Amino acid sequence: MTNYHPFRELLKARLREFIREPETIFWVYAFPVLLAIGLGIAFRNRPAERVFVDVQQHAAAENIAGNLRQLPDFVVTIHPQPECMERLRLGKSALVVIPGTSITFLFDPTRPESILARQRVDDALQRAAGRRDLLPTIDQHITEPGTRYIDFLIPGLIGMNLLAGSMWAVGYVIVDMRVRKLLKRFVATPMKKSHFLWSALSGRLAFMVPELIVILGAGVILFGFPIRGNVFSILFLSLLGTISFTGLGLLAACRAQKLETVSGIMNVIMMPMWLLSGVFFSPDRFPHILQPLIQALPLTQFNDALRAIILEGAPLSSQLWRMALIAAWGAISYLCTLRWFRWN
């Protein structure tokens, strides 16, 4: 007679359910790749932005405009005063140059491109007036793989996806089972609760590996994304991250009796991390006062560690502190789950 092991059967059930759900396959595997392609195209390295500068109508206007048109990427036009004001207000121009005995620059100091334009226009006009630079300088441009936006983005997308996948595949699925009274039905059998929880975690880890391969593979094939670190270090960190994030998913599912509730809880957990933890842009851009909070989030540490390993080829041993913080989040989540989890 065939012998069925409960852990193996629970895991098989979980894998089958996942594979037979086309929507999940899309969200877990196709969506991050599409996102990478979309953002990769949107932020691909392009020639520098064109800068629009207006010169106010004046006897000397044509002369000034002529000087400024020498600048690469500058679009310079002459308009009467009211029109200059209107164009500046609407953001059609970055800077208005008002000729006179002294030249006036009119701009909004909170717009970075305006400040840039002011510096370069000032520079060009000073030189035209005869200024000589004393120190020779050379510009060197970097566009090689490893320093582009897409290179920053891909590790962030992996972090985001591992977090979201763990929350949905464990948190949502468990609450769904609770709503369907299936959890209660399982508890009414001799099933060991540990088998159930282990199978949920193992199922999640099994799906994580292809997730990692798909996103990294798409990066390498489509964008020439460089993988400088050890593959096993990447895998180990991803395993650790997934285990920890699965803990958060279990915690979210602890007591929720409705799918709406668990969706809300998961969004409350995930949204701040997607925003603050350096998925799409560096968390350094947030105010200083937020930094301790941002650094305490597991996804921040995961993304930073993953970037260090993949892009800089850093060894795992250099990321111990970050991994400890990720593990601590996981440990706390699992302990709380054991304490509060409601089976029926």
Partner 1 sequence: MGFSSSTEPVISCRDLRKQYKGRGGIVNAVDGLDLDIHRGECFGLLGPNGAGKTTTMEIFEGLLQPTSGDVEILSMRWGQNDSELRQKIGISLQETRFTERLTVFETLVLFRSFYRNGHPPADVMEAVGLGEKAKSWVGKLSGGQRQRLAVACALVGDPLLLFLDEPTTGLDPQSRRHLWDIIRNLREEGRTVLLTTHYMDEAEHLCNRVAVIDHGKIIALGSPAELIVGLGGEHIVEFALANGSVASNKDLADLPAVKEARADGNGIALTVTEPHIAIPALLQHLQSRRFELARLTTRNASLEDVFVNLTGRHLRDDELSSF
**Applying CB under 8 A, which residues contact partner 1?**
1-2, 4-6, 8-10, 12-13, 16-17, 20-21, 180-182, 184-191, 344
Shortest separation between residue 200's beta carbon and partner 1, angstroms = 13
**Complex with partner 1: residue 182 or 296, whichever CB lies closer:** 182
**Complex with partner 1: residue 262 or 270, whichever CB lies closer:** 262
Alpha carbon separation from 148 to 63, 143, 222 (Å, rounded): 39, 7, 14
**Complex with partner 1: residue 159 or 171, whichever CB lies closer:** 171
152 contact partners, CB below 8 Å, separation of at least 6: 281, 282, 307
**Complex with partner 1: residue 9 or 260, whichever CB lies closer:** 9
SS3 55: strand
- As a three-state string, the secondary structure of 263-283 is HHHHHHHHHHHHHHCCCCCCH
Distance from C-alpha of 144 to C-alpha of 242, rounded to nearest angstrom: 31
Shortest separation between residue 186's beta carbon and partner 1, angstroms = 8
**Complex with partner 1: residue 185 or 258, whichever CB lies closer:** 185
Shortest separation between residue 7's beta carbon and partner 1, angstroms = 9
CA atoms within 13 A on the CB side of 92: 11
**Exposure string for 124-159, b = 16+ CB within 10 A, e = fewer:** bbeeeeeeeeeeeeeeeeeeeeeebbbbbbbbbbbb
**Complex with partner 1: residue 83 or 176, whichever CB lies closer:** 176
Shortest separation between residue 344's beta carbon and partner 1, angstroms = 6
Shortest separation between residue 242's beta carbon and partner 1, angstroms = 23
**Complex with partner 1: residue 58 or 255, whichever CB lies closer:** 255
Check the CA dihedral 341-205-265-330 and report its sign.
positive
Shortest separation between residue 173's beta carbon and partner 1, angstroms = 10
Distance from C-alpha of 225 to C-alpha of 152, rounded to nearest angstrom: 10
Q: Which two tokens mark 192? A: 């060991």
**Exposure string for 289-305, b = 16+ CB within 10 A, e = fewer:** eeeeebeebbbbbbbbb
Shortest separation between residue 159's beta carbon and partner 1, angstroms = 29
CA atoms within 13 A on the CB side of 259: 8
Q: Are strands 104-106 and 95-98 parallel, antiparallel or unpaired?
A: antiparallel
**Complex with partner 1: residue 6 or 145, whichever CB lies closer:** 6
**Complex with partner 1: residue 118 or 204, whichever CB lies closer:** 204
Q: Which two tokens mark 159? A: 């972090």
Shortest separation between residue 25's beta carbon and partner 1, angstroms = 12
User: How many Cβ atoms are within 10 Å of 334's Cβ, its own excluded?
Assistant: 19
Shortest separation between residue 174's beta carbon and partner 1, angstroms = 13
Residue type present at position 107: F
